[in-house]
């Protein structure tokens, strides 16, 4: 059985300052993300035990646990690589053209993405994703770690709107956190994810 492991960050905990503090990054990566990895592995192990014993009494809870924790692992693995020190600015090339095509302009895309992220009721994520059925980019509100998105859409750019992602730095002023996010978006990573999603590459989610 395959198990999940906590990936290293591609930069130091302090690298995204002043936009995200080293303290948040350390807690977020080494504690929160680690807990999702452990939770997904625990759910898989418990499911294996259920098959071995034939006791599926807890299977509904285990399925929820797997969706939540594996969702958390995938979401954070994408999020870390969506960010980079000294990044931000505006996208170029095919990503820029696609944002214009599907959202009207880069500014309209940003306004839509900001509204989606700030509007989440409870914990969740703002997500730019590729929908292979309509062959188009869509913006989604991901609830918790696993809800409110269509099967098959492929995340390209994600913003963590859980309070653990910003509260130490921004308290209740979510809008300042969302504004700071645009200063550290790694458009090169977004571009690689966009290319992989459109080509149907099997390793789409693993780009780092
Ligand atoms: Mn998080």
What is the SS3 string spanning 99-139?
HHHHHCCHHHHHHHHHHHHHHCCCCEEEEEEEECCCCEEEE
pLDDT for the residue 205:
72
pLDDT, one tens digit per residue, over 100-109 is 999 999 999 9
Q: How far is the CA of 53 from the centre of ligand 1 (A)?
A: 35
* CATH code: domain of residue 200: 3.55.40.20
> Which stretch of 6-10, 63-67, 83-87, 201-205 has the lowest confidence by average pLDDT?
201-205
Give the CATH number for residue 63.
Answer: 1.10.287.990
Ligand 1 mean position, distance from CA 56 (Å) = 31
pLDDT of 3: 93
Residue 47, domain extent: 22-82
| Residue, of 2 and 74, whose pLDDT is higher | 74
pLDDT at 202: 61
Q: What is the DSSP letter of 185?
A: B
Domain assignment of residue 14, yes or no: no
Q: What is the pLDDT of residue 35?
A: 98
Tell the burial category of 137 from Cβ atoms under 10 Å away from its Cβ (0-12, 13-18, 19+). buried
- How far is the C-alpha of 8 from the C-alpha of 31, rounded, in Å? 13
Cα 164 to averaged position of ligand 1 atoms, centre (Å): 6
How many domains does the chain divide into?
2
pTM: 0.95
**Stretch 62-75: mean pLDDT:** 98
Q: Residue 201 has what pLDDT?
A: 73
> DSSP states of 63-93 as a string?
HHHHHHHHHHHHHHHHHHHHB-TT--S---H
């Amino acid at each position: 059985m395959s198990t999940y492991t906590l990936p290293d960050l591609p930069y130091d905990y302090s690298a995204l300052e002043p936009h995200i503090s080293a303290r948040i990054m350390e807690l977020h990566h080494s504690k929160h993300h680690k807990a999702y990895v452990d939770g997904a592995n625990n759910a898989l192990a418990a499911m294996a035990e259920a098959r071995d014993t034939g006791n599926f009494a807890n299977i509904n809870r285990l399925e929820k646990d797997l969706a939540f924790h594996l969702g958390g692992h995938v979401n954070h693995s994408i999020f870390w690589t969506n960010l980079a020190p000294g990044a931000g600015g505006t996208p170029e090339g095919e990503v820029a053209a696609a944002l214009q095509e599907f959202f009207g302009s880069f500014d309209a895309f940003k306004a839509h993405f900001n509204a989606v992220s700030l509007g989440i009721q409870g914990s969740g994520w703002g997500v730019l994703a590729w929908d292979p059925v309509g062959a188009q980019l869509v913006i989604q509100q991901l609830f918790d770690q696993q809800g409110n998105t269509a099967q098959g859409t492929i995340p390209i750019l994600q913003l963590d709107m859980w309070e653990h992602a910003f509260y130490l730095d921004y308290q209740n002023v979510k809008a300042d956190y969302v504004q700071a996010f645009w200063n550290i978006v790694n458009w090169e990573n977004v571009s690689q994810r966009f290319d992989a999603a459109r080509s149907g590459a099997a390793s789409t989610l693993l780009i780092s």
